């Protein structure tokens, strides 16, 4: 039985709890799930391991990869490049591992064009009041800073309709169970099963 | 919050364990899930309750309902009519209840045309050998009878590609968890959430 993993885009505004959900999902280091490891040109921070947290490359290497169309999505953020290598993703999926891309809606849009079978999951906070509470943090930021964060969050959330699934992160355990149900169900689509159960289906349907 | 349930078609060959899976799913009488109650012209068997096991009607009543296009699918089996009323389904879905149609691929095909948002789930046995074992039963039937059952099962299974999801019922608990994951995930599709979370989304996305 040869299984192929699914590629998931997981997007959310700041304050929706996306990172905590992904961490909880991968806490026990499941053999069939992993977050995509991006390429970046920014310098490693203390404790970051090349190939585990990021693939660290030079600007010249990154630009060469862009020219080779090696990325399914890339972006420049605060002067550093970040990108997702198509071949790394494909190799991982072919091992039967589900891959999670923790990217924003713009990156998600690029990926969906190049890999249309990608499953998009958008995480929402339960209310605007709760989002504001989460983005206010420990009360050390000015009203202007918080307002700017809220505007950014509303802008990001306005793209939720481009996603296949929407999870409202009100109760964390329930949101995690939602995410797990989506992931499990995507192994059960007719197309996934035709691939994974090919030999069994041939046996079952033989005259 | 007004939720709308989803309509599921669940089909399988005899011996795949469909009835046991549906029974297990509804064992605790969940308030948000129920099997569709069909109309039939056959006589009630001892213990069968009108409106609970079937809506028992006369042939004249049934034919009048056909003429009113009241059914999303109907069939004549061994001289009796069986049908699924569209208005009964719609009323149940509008209460936020998921409805399960336990029908074969022909019925499923009719329903998909009239209600395209229906989610099709096909249950398969894990192998031909295991299917034959299950269909052989207690060894009281002739080889011809068992061969005919197997041929019927293979014919039914050949339509699995018309379904959205495929569950292989090898381990029962795992197959039940698969079914539950599919049901849960369908409450999380973007369209379902737009309907269920309409007020919350308006609040979140307001300027």
Q: pLDDT per residue over A34-72, tens digit each?
A: 999 999 999 999 999 998 889 999 999 999 999 999 999
Domain membership of residue B31 (yes or no) is yes
Q: pLDDT per residue over B10-40, tens digit each?
A: 999 999 999 999 999 999 889 999 999 999 9
- For position B156, which CATH number holds? 3.40.50.300
Domain membership of residue A118 (yes or no) is yes
Residues of A in contact with B178 (CB under 8 A): 184-185, 188
Residues of A in contact with B182 (CB under 8 A): 185, 188
Kindly tell me if the per-residue pLDDT of B1 is higher than 70: no
How many structural domains does chain B have?
1
Residues of B in contact with A193 (CB under 8 A): 165-166, 168
Task: Say how far apart CA B149 and CA B135 lie, in whole Å.
Answer: 7
Cβ-based neighbour number of residue A52 at 10 Å: 8
Q: Is B167 on the interface with A (CB under 8 A)?
A: yes
Q: Which residues of A22-31 are buried (b: 16+ CB within 10 A; e: fewer)?
A: bebbeeeeee
Between B188 and B103, where is the model more confident?
A: B188
Kindly tell me if the per-residue pLDDT of B207 is higher than 80: no
> A interface mutation test: which of B190, B191, B195, B202 has the most A CBs within 10 A?
B190
Give the closest residue to A39 by CA, choosing from A81, A76, A86, A93: A81
Residues of B in contact with A207 (CB under 8 A): 154
Domain membership of residue B129 (yes or no) is yes
Which residues of chain A have a pLDDT value below 50? Answer: none
Interface confidence, given as ipTM, is: 0.91
For residue A205, give the nearest of B157, B180, B182 by CB distance. Answer: B157
Domain membership of residue B53 (yes or no) is no
Task: Say how far apart CA B205 and CA A153 lie, in whole Å.
Answer: 9
Q: Is B182 on the interface with A (CB under 8 A)?
A: yes
Domain membership of residue B63 (yes or no) is no
Averaged pLDDT, B134-161: 89
Domain membership of residue B161 (yes or no) is yes
- Residue B191 confidence (pLDDT): 94
DSSP tag of A160: G
Task: Say how far apart CA B15 and CA B133 lie, in whole Å.
Answer: 9
- Residue B192 confidence (pLDDT): 94
How confident is residue B142, by pLDDT bands cut at 50, 70 and 90? confident
- Residue A22 confidence (pLDDT): 95
- Residue B200 confidence (pLDDT): 92
Q: Please name every residue paired with A100 in a beta bridge, in sequence order, or none if there are none.
A: A8, A35
Domain membership of residue A75 (yes or no) is no
- Residue A52 confidence (pLDDT): 87
| Residue pairs spanning A and B at CB distance below 8 A | 110
Q: pLDDT per residue over B55-114, tens digit each?
A: 999 999 999 999 999 999 999 988 999 999 999 999 999 999 999 999 999 999 999 999
Q: Is A148 on the interface with B (CB under 8 A)?
A: no
- Residue A4 confidence (pLDDT): 92
Range of the structural domain that residue B14 is part of: 7-36+98-204
CA A175 centroid distance within chain: 16
Q: Is A131 on the interface with B (CB under 8 A)?
A: yes
Average per-residue pLDDT for chain B: 93
Domain membership of residue B49 (yes or no) is no
């Amino acid at each position: 039985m040869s299984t192929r993993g699914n590629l998931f885009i997981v997007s959310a505004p700041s304050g929706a709890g996306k990172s905590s959900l992904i961490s909880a999902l991968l806490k026990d280091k499941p053999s069939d799930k992993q977050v995509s490891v991006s390429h970046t040109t920014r310098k490693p921070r203390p404790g970051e391991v090349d190939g585990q947290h990021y693939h660290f490359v030079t600007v010249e290497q990154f630009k060469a990869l862009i020219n080779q169309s090696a990325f399914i999505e890339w972006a420049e953020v605060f002067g550093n490049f970040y990108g997702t290598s198509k071949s790394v993703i494909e190799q991982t999926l072919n091992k039967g591992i589900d891959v999670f891309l923790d990217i924003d809606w713009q990156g998600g849009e690029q990926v969906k064009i190049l890999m249309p079978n990608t499953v998009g999951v958008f995480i929402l906070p339960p209310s605007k009041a709760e989002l504001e509470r989460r983005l206010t943090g420990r009360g050390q930021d000015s009203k202007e800073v918080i307002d700017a964060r809220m505007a950014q969050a509303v802008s990001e959330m306005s793209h939720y309709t481009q996603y296949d699934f929407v999870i409202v992160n009100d109760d964390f355990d329930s949101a995690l169970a939602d995410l797990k149900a989506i992931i499990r169900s995507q192994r059960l689509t007719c197309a996934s099963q035709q691939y994974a159960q090919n030999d069994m289906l041939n046996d079952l349907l033989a005259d």
